[in-house]
Structure 1
Amino acid sequence: MHDRQQKAISRRNFFRALGGASTAAVAAAATLRPGEAQAYDPGKDETKARYRETDHVKAFYRVNGYQTLKK
């Protein structure tokens, strides 16, 4: 019966091996060098102003009491 216990991996040894494997994976990932970063150019459509205070927006502010917050 003692032989059967030694052949099977114990719970403690399983977690010890799992911790060693994760440490090795982190070390391997740290040695990889990423390529050069590319900057994202949003273009003119994404950088233009979108907010416009139209009549329906002004009505929304007036109905919900936001006009009282202005000084």
Structure 2
Amino acid sequence: MTDRPDDPVDARRRRFLRGAGLSAAGAAAAVPVVLSGGDDAEAFSAPEEQVKGRYRLNDHVKRFYFLNRL
């Protein structure tokens, strides 16, 4: 590489690479929008799932708490 900062070939190369990088970033940002179809994702569970019990205090859990007590 040369030490001349005003080299026109070097300046054109930098502009090209900067433009290529911005184009790639723009294309990458547009892909999820196109693939999603524009529908909003649901961020909540169905009411049946919210009511269903998930945590049960059984012997296994009690033993875990007992062994990990500080």
TM-score class normalised by the smaller sequence: 0.3 to 0.5
Higher gyration radius (CA): 1
Scaled by the length of structure 1, the TM-score of the pair is 0.41
